[in-house]
Structure 1
C-alpha cells in the first residue's frame, strides 16, 4: 500500500535541497568542501551560550525557559531586536517584530499568507534556493525582479494577470546575496521600492548576511529607505527578515520578521497554527548572548571570514582559466562563478568530487533551472590554506573539462 496518490498537488513542486545533500560531504575529511553555506563552528560563542543556557535552566528561571510562551516571541529579545533595527535606520517597536524558527520559517509563512496558485513571485536570477523551496509549495509563477529597472512594470503586471494571478511580492537579498555575493546599491534599492509601488506588491528583504561586511561602506536596508521616505513603518510594504544563524549560531533556529503591524498579526496567526512558538529557551539564550557579545563577536567573524574571502579571490586569480568569471563581493559567504556556456556545473561536480573538492552547481538557484554553467563557492568553512588547495584542484578540473 502507498499513500502517495493521496498527497496534495503542491507536493509535486517540493524538491530535495542540493545543498542539504552536499552537506553530507562535510564529514569526509579528504574532501575540501566549498558547498555548505554555513558558519564555521570553531567560531561559535560557545562559552557565552553555555552560561546562558545554564542560567536559563536554574530552578527559578526554568519555569519560564521550559514553558510555553507567546507566539510573538520572548519580549526581551524582541526589545533587543527593536534597538538593533533602530541602529540600522529602522525605528520600530516590539509589536512590529515576530520571532521565527530561523528566517527560513519566515519565508514559508510569507509564501503561505501571500501566494495563491498562479500568483507571481518576483525573484532575482539567480536567487536563494531555500526561498524557492519555501514558495514552491504554494504554486506560484516566478518572474524576474530587475533592480536596474530596465523592464516595464506594465509588462510584468500584464504577464502575471495573463497567468491567472497577480504579482504578490518581490523577494531579494540586498546584502551579499546567496548565491552570488552581490550587494544592491542604494539607487537599486530605491528602484525596487518604486517598482513595488507601481506593481502594488510587497517587498521581502532577506538580510541574513547584512552584518558580514568586510570592506566598503554599509548601505541602508530597503526598509530603512522606505521608512525614510514615508515616515513610519506602518506605511511600508517592505518586510525585513533577520537571522542569528550567520552571526551567533544556526542550530538554535532563531530569526525574526520586522514589518507593519497588520503583516505581523497575520504571521502570528500562521505561527500559532504551525508550531505555536519558537523554542523559549533558545530565545532566552540568544537574547542574553546578543546583549553580551553580539558586536564583539561579529567583529571577530568579520576578521576571520574577511581573510578567507581575500584568500579565495586571490586563489581564483591564480588558478582559474581566463574564460572563467566570478563575483568579487565585499562580504557574506559566497563567490559565484560563471563557466563557458557549454559547460554544466552538475557534470563538473562529478569530476570535482573525484579530485576531492566540492561546490554547489548553479542551476538550482534559478527558478527556471537555467544557466547550468554556473556554480557557487563558499569560503566561510575553510582556512586560507585549504582554500588555496581547493581552488587549485578546482582550476585543474575546469581546465581538463574545457
Structure 2
C-alpha cells in the first residue's frame, strides 16, 4: 500500500480537524440543544433581498459579466461601498486599499502565507480563534502568547522567537467580542499593542468579524483607525484589518475583505491569482446590492435578536450555574466563555453532556495553541431561542454541579 504520509509535505503533520466543524454535525440531531456552532441564525438571513439581487443580475444586461472571470482585487462597486463604511469608523482609505476574499478565513490563510516562514513566530491570544490557528499552522510557525497586560516586553518576544529559530512576524487578535471569549480589547490595550508592534517592527492583524454586533456600551475605534490618526495615512500603517459579511448578511456566499496599505494589498492579490483567481463575481455583486440597500436594517434586526439571546444566556448562567464556575459578560458578538473549577475537563464534560443532558458546546482546549485551557468551554447563543437557552443552561448547570459534588 502506498505510504502517503511519506509523500505529504511536512506541514501536513500539523493539520488537525476542527473540533467545531465536527460538532456542527450535532445540529442535525433534533434532540440536541446546541451551543456549539458560532454561526448566524439562518432564520435571520435576508433571503428575500438576496433573491431580488440575483434576479436583478439575470434580468439586466450584466449577467454575462456576473458569470465571467473578474479582477482579483474584487468587484469595484463593492469595494467602493466598503470604502464608505470604513470611513464611518475612522478608517480613511481608497478602494485600492480594499481586497475581497472568499470569506475572512481565506484572508487569514493568505496572511499566514505572506508573512510566515517555518519557525517564525505569530503572537496570538491564549485562547484565540481556532480558525486562525488552523490557517497559520499550515506555514509551520511557532506560536507565542500575546498579552497586553505588560507582563511581556518586546525584547522577551524577540528573544523567544530567535531561540525558536525565526523572527516575530505579526500579532493577531480579534478586537471586539472575540471568538471564543466574547471579550473586547479596550482602547488602552489597542494603543499598547500598536506601541509594541512599532518596537518589534511587525504587522498587526485585526480580526473585526464581529465588530457590527455591539449590543451595549460605546464603540471603540478599530486599531487601524487609531494608527491612521497617529500616522496621517493608511499607507504609513502596519495594521491589516480583516472583515466579513458572514456574520451580518450571509456566510454561505463566502465574501470577506482586507483593508491595508497598498503594498500589502498588492501581495495578497498575487497570492489570490495563484490560488483561485478571484472571489465569486456573482456573489460579490449580490452582496454589494444587498449591502447598499439593506445593510443597516439587517444589522439592526440581528442585533435585536442576538442581544435578547445573550441576555437570556447570562440570566440563565446566573440562575443555574453552580459556585466555582465563572463566565465572561460580553457587550456583543455570539459567545460566552465559561471557566470551570480547576481540574475539570471540558472535553470529558462534553461527552457526558451530549449523552445524558443532550446539550452541546465547544471544549475550550481547541482555542489554545498549546492545548491548555482544559477547564474552559465556549457557549454560543446565536442559534438558540430564549426557551432553549434557559433549558440548555439548566441542564448544563445540573451536570456541572453533579461533577463538582462528586469530586468534593
TM-score, normalization by structure 2? 0.98
Residue segments in structure 1 that go unaligned for 5+ positions in a row: none
Per-residue CA deviations over 1:149-203 (Å, capped at 9, x if unaligned) read 2211111101101111110000000000000000011000001101111111000
For 1:87 and 1:351, how far apart are their aligned partners in 2? 47
For 1:386 and 1:307, how far apart are their aligned partners in 2? 13
1:36 aligned counterpart, secondary structure: coil
Match of 1:393 in 2: 395
Match of 2:343 in 1: 342
Match of 1:219 in 2: 220
1:60 aligned counterpart, secondary structure: coil
For 1:58 and 1:43, how far apart are their aligned partners in 2? 26
Match of 1:93 in 2: 94
**Which runs of structure 2 are paired with 1:306-385 in the superposition (5 Å)?**
306-354=307-355, 355-385=357-387
Contact 1:180 1:335 in 2 (8 A): yes
**Which runs of structure 2 are paired with 1:76-225 in the superposition (5 Å)?**
76-225=77-226
Per-residue CA deviations over 1:230-267 (Å, capped at 9, x if unaligned) read 00000100000000000000000000000000000000
Per-residue CA deviations over 1:125-171 (Å, capped at 9, x if unaligned) read 10000000000010000001112222111111011011111100000
Match of 2:257 in 1: 256
Contact 1:170 1:201 in 2 (8 A): yes
Root-mean-square deviation (CA), in Å? 0.7
For 2:268 and 2:90, how far apart are their aligned partners in 1? 23
Per-residue CA deviations over 1:318-375 (Å, capped at 9, x if unaligned) read 0001100000000000000001111000000011102100000000100000010000
For 2:140 and 2:253, how far apart are their aligned partners in 1? 30
TM-score, normalization by structure 1? 0.99
For 1:59 and 1:304, how far apart are their aligned partners in 2? 35
1:251 aligned counterpart, secondary structure: helix
For 2:318 and 2:256, how far apart are their aligned partners in 1? 36
Residue segments in structure 2 that go unaligned for 5+ positions in a row: none
Match of 1:11 in 2: 12
For 1:82 and 1:56, how far apart are their aligned partners in 2? 23
For 2:59 and 2:116, how far apart are their aligned partners in 1? 44
Match of 1:246 in 2: 247
For 2:151 and 2:134, how far apart are their aligned partners in 1? 27
1:155 aligned counterpart, secondary structure: helix
**Cα drift, residue 276 of structure 1:** 0.2
For 1:164 and 1:5, how far apart are their aligned partners in 2? 25
1:70 aligned counterpart, secondary structure: coil
For 2:89 and 2:372, how far apart are their aligned partners in 1? 36
For 2:323 and 2:226, how far apart are their aligned partners in 1? 39
| Number of residue-to-residue matches in the alignment | 402
**Cα drift, residue 59 of structure 1:** 5.4
Contact 1:55 1:61 in 2 (8 A): no
